[in-house]
Structure 1
Amino acid sequence: MKSILLLFVCGFTTLYLNAQPQKKIAGKSGNPVFPGWYADPEGAVFGKTYWIYPTFSDKYENQVFLDAFSSSDLTHWTKHERVVDTLNFKWAKKAVWAPSIIKKDKKYYLLFAANDIQSDQEVGGIGIGVSDKPEGPFRDHLGKPLVDKFHNGAQPIDQFVFKDKDGQHYLIYGGWKHCNIAKLKDDFTGFTPFANGKTFEEITPEGYVEGPYMFMRNGKYYFMWSEGGWTGPDYSVAYAIADSPTGPFKRIGQILKQDPKVATGAGHNSVIKHPGKEQYYIVYHRRPLGETNGNHRVTCIEKMEFDADGLIKPVQITFEGVDADAIK
């Protein structure tokens, strides 16, 4: 009985210690990279500054704004509060999720989902804000959602804006296990149909749940997404590679998942590439060990590497994070 009790105490102690914030190592980002409950992070680089735009992770009714974080080296982060506020988007009332930002013609466009609509009869969907600065404040670009209906079964959430090599911008989005791609107009006020007449093409790969992200490397299109349930330990990231932004995308495998010694529910990622070299980072959220609140998610960063065939190597989640890496 004493042996069983000792094992229980030791196991609980290990779980408790792993769930606590780890002491930051000098020259390392540490994980999470900044304090607070934040999820669905989008990483970006503007000039010589790294940015992360996450969801404020709380009850839906409290998710009425977005904060942003900037850094010159990935290790020291400055918080910019309420870069998006629903006070400036009259149709958005709650559940402001998964920002995606892009710079175009000296303007910054930030897209987000709001209201968690469950049908075409509800008000909400994907909105778009515009600002002269990456730290906002962002004002409503349209005065209404950019996407406010279900197309091909995709809930209008988890948006990502991808710029192709020919300058065409695409909106890639979707929850409820469906993913769409659409060609944005040059002024981001709507969409241009594809050659086949469709506005929303479905590109859902096997295993897709939500959280799409796309980037190019060596002429190939890498498509990443989240699998599993967002409140569960099985939340993870998988990917595919194609020769076109519209695919077809055949699932290659999973590259980010929980580590029972570090954290659970590792998913909903984006990617940051250092603009001066071939160095990639994966930005994602996870849930601290021992945490039972589904909304307790924190933002983390790890190095992302490729093998000789261009496949993404499995990512090991850590407490240490990444080395300082300034943009010179």
Structure 2
Amino acid sequence: MTSTHHSTYTNPVHPQTFADPFVLRHQGFYYAYGTAPGNADGRAFPVLRSPDLVQWEPLGHALVPSGGHDFWAPEVAYKDGTFHMYYSAQGIEGRDHQLRVATSTDPAGPFVDVTPGVAGALVPDQPFSIDAHPFCDDDGQWYLFYCVDFLELEDDHRVGTGIVVDRLLEMKRLEGKPRMVHRPHEDWHLFLKSRTMYGNVYDWHTVEGAAVLKHDGLYYCFYSGGAWERENYGVSWVVADHPLGPYRRPEEGGRALLMHTLEGQLIGPGHNSFVQSPSGDETWIVYHAWGPDRAGRRMCIDRLRWEGGKPVTDGPTCTPQAAPA
């Protein structure tokens, strides 16, 4: 694509629906993958390419599905010349959303499903699993953060969707020893009151969309909480000394600490990823948000910085900002 220098940008940075945005940097370009309607030939997940995080070129759709429908939240990990796309699909063997993996030798795809077993799942013992986030530690060990449902009342936890982490023995096989990372426990984590689930009725709470950053030797698991289509959706974090935890809550809990609705402008910001700027000197948070028209969740970006050892951003922003350096 032809690159034109941009000194500023204004959110959203892409005009079409592009929820759950994940951005991968590879060989001087950024590739963005998101949740959106599929294309005419049956492929899922639009993929965009950019030299600078501001101007984005559509490259079509990335995934060749092996069945199912309602494809959600793709994230891509690169290892040994292969790109691995983690995502969830509904309807395979009549099941609810299940995590799967597809591979490609090109970041734009096509990605072909390689989940163990034609109708298999990465987490076969769970009736519902979504929002896979692959994370590689400094020693080269990969981990997979993902979401499952919890129906047990423990401590101050509430019934609903939460985040766990497991070690990846290989890129398409988990160790099978998931550890709890974070469960909903705050009022702002409410997804829906009196929701019928698993043959019962619950006030359902949700934390989802894990994205992990290592900073000063600590592992920050950022998450989105609340109802994805409502104003209470936002981003906060928990922190640990190891990718497998245990994870601690910030002392200032009780609200979405990193990012929340900008009233009347950007609604329900969340389900983010992180990426370095072209110079490598800045960290950027990539997230989706509704506009006032509620026409779709669109991709936005803002700087992330650290103040007093804590993550801070000015986002969500909807006015011109200095472009990534």
Q: State the TM bucket, normalised to the shorter chain.
A: 0.7 to 0.9
Give RMSD over aligned pairs: 2.6
The verdict on how the C-alpha distance between 1:209 and 1:182 changes in structure 2, with shifts beyond 3 A counting, is: same
Kept in 2: contact 1:272–1:281 (CA 8 A): yes
Pick from 77, 80, 83 the counterpart of residue 56 of structure 2.
77
Pick from 164, 171, 182 the counterpart of residue 180 of structure 1.
164
Deviation at 1:78? 1.0
Deviation at 1:318? 1.5
Q: Partners of 1:115 and 1:55 in 2: how far apart?
A: 14
The verdict on how the C-alpha distance between 1:226 and 1:63 changes in structure 2, with shifts beyond 3 A counting, is: farther
SS in 1 for 2:314: coil
Kept in 2: contact 1:126–1:156 (CA 8 A): yes
Task: Give the match for residue 281 of structure 1.
Answer: 284
Matched, 1:52 2:32: yes
TM-score, scaled relative to structure 2: 0.79
Deviation at 1:93? 1.7
Aligned residues: 281
Task: Give the match for residue 6 of structure 1.
Answer: none
The verdict on how the C-alpha distance between 1:202 and 1:317 changes in structure 2, with shifts beyond 3 A counting, is: same
For 1:249, give the aligned amino acid: Y
Q: Which has the higher helix share?
A: 1
Matched, 1:130 2:103: yes
Q: Partners of 1:260 and 1:233 in 2: how far apart?
A: 8
Task: Give the match for residue 244 of structure 2.
Answer: 246
For 1:185, give the aligned amino acid: L
For 2:272, give the aligned amino acid: N
How many percent of aligned residue pairs carry the same amino acid? 26
The verdict on how the C-alpha distance between 1:298 and 1:145 changes in structure 2, with shifts beyond 3 A counting, is: farther
Q: Partners of 1:157 and 1:116 in 2: how far apart?
A: 13
Kept in 2: contact 1:233–1:265 (CA 8 A): yes
Task: Give the match for residue 265 of structure 2.
Answer: 262
SS in 2 for 1:160: strand
Deviation at 1:145? 3.8
Map 1:1-328 onto structure 2 (within 5 A): 27-56=7-36, 65-86=44-65, 89=66, 92-115=67-90, 122=95, 125-142=98-115, 143-149=118-124, 151=126, 155-176=128-149, 177-186=161-170, 188-193=171-176, 199-207=177-185, 209-252=207-250, 253=253, 254-274=257-277, 276-291=279-294, 296-307=296-307, 309-320=308-319, 322-325=321-324
Deviation at 1:276? 4.3
User: Could you list the per-position Cα deviations for residues 4-37 of structure 1 after superposition, in whole angstroms to 9, with x for gaps in the alignment?
Assistant: xxxxxxxxxxxxxxxxxxxxx9532321111211
User: Could you list the per-position Cα deviations for residues 127-173 of structure 1 after superposition, in whole angstroms to 9, with x for gaps in the alignment?
Assistant: 1111111011111123344425454xx83101100111121111110
- The structure having more radius of gyration, on CA atoms, is 1
For 1:105, give the aligned amino acid: D
Q: Which moved more, 1:25-34 or 1:41-50?
A: 25-34
Gap regions ≥5 residues in structure 2: 150-160, 186-205
Q: Partners of 1:304 and 1:34 in 2: how far apart?
A: 20
TM-score, scaled relative to structure 1: 0.78
Deviation at 1:116? 6.9
User: Could you list the per-position Cα deviations for residues 73-109 of structure 1 after superposition, in whole angstroms to 9, with x for gaps in the alignment?
Assistant: 12211111111132xx2xx321101011010001111
Q: Partners of 2:320 and 2:102 in 1: how far apart?
A: 31
For 2:178, give the aligned amino acid: F
For 1:113, give the aligned amino acid: S
User: Could you list the per-position Cα deviations for residues 51-88 of structure 1 after superposition, in whole angstroms to 9, with x for gaps in the alignment?
Assistant: 21111169xxx9961111111112211111111132xx
User: Could you list the per-position Cα deviations for residues 245-301 of structure 1 after superposition, in whole angstroms to 9, with x for gaps in the alignment?
Assistant: 12222222421111114211111111112374331111111111142x6xx211111
The verdict on how the C-alpha distance between 1:162 and 1:259 changes in structure 2, with shifts beyond 3 A counting, is: same
For 1:72, give the aligned amino acid: P
SS in 1 for 2:311: coil
Which fold has the larger relative contact order, with Cα–Cα distance below 8 Å and residues 6 or more apart in sequence? Answer: 1
Gap regions ≥5 residues in structure 1: 1-24, 194-198
Kept in 1: contact 2:20–2:287 (CA 8 A): yes
